[in-house]
Amino acid sequence: MGEVQPSDEVQRSVPGHAVEAGSGDRPHPGDIVIDPNLGIVPEPLVGSDTSTALDEDESSTTIPRPVLWAMKARRHTQWHLLPSSERHQRLRQSIGSGSDELHVIDDGRHHVMIGRLVGTVSDDVAYCLVGRLNRDHLQAIEGGSVPASAAYNVATEVVLCATATEVGVESSNVFDVSRFSDAASIPAEYLPGVALHHFAAPLEITIY
């Protein structure tokens, strides 16, 4: 999620290493964190070992980190890459509470990304349901004419993401688990109103 800085390349001129999760060894950019219980093919960590949060200050947000990372990774418009003269107003918002809570961030001037925490497996993987809304739909939800629990009925590009983190490394790897073509194809247990799941084993990845 972070960007590779020149200092990283100078300091790490040797190829990445395999670091076993829970070993106590601190991974560095280019390393691969191996966890036999994760159920996914690992990819190298990128960026510095302190996340850049996509070059945005996120110190005041209350959105859970796994959901925030997944929404930022899947949005179309990366705010920090825009010229300062073209930057829209950033949005960080949470609507509802408990199992109905829905998190929102900006995605350009006309859209937003929505997300909710679906569940976890082990201590370092969280599953998040992420989608894209136009701002008219968001205003309807804010105004109460559309309940937040129905947000995914009108969302597009809905995907179940997994955010994998490693203790000691603030940046995260986000990968897609399942994509949904319409609201009817989203499992009910992933939708608002359902309590957080604690999965006994990693979910099967259906995207190849």
Classify residue 143: in a domain, yes or no: yes
* pLDDT at residue number 113: 95
Classify residue 113: in a domain, yes or no: yes
Give me the helices (H) in 23-64, please.
none
Q: What pLDDT, in 10s, does the model give residues 5-24?
A: 333 333 333 445 666 655 65
Give exposure, 78-109, as e/b (b: 16+ Cβ within 10 Å).
ebeeeeeeeeeeeebbbbbeeeebbbbbbbbe
Classify residue 131: in a domain, yes or no: yes
Amino acid present at 74? R
Classify residue 14: in a domain, yes or no: no
User: Residue 82: pLDDT above 50?
Assistant: yes
Classify residue 188: in a domain, yes or no: yes
Q: What pLDDT, in 10s, does the model give residues 31-64?
A: 555 666 555 555 544 444 444 444 456 777 889 9
Classify residue 139: in a domain, yes or no: yes
Distance CA(157)–CA(184), nearest Å, equals: 13
Question: For the residues 166-181, what does the mean pLDDT come to?
Answer: 76
Classify residue 45: in a domain, yes or no: no
- Range from 6-10, 62-66, 137-141, 167-171 carrying the lowest mean pLDDT: 6-10
Classify residue 84: in a domain, yes or no: yes
State the residue range of the domain holding 120.
61-199
Q: Are strands 169-180 and 156-166 parallel, antiparallel or unpaired?
A: antiparallel
Sign of CA pseudo-dihedral 193, 199, 204, 208: positive
* pLDDT at residue number 169: 53
| pLDDT over 90, % of the chain | 38
Q: How many domains does the chain have?
A: 1
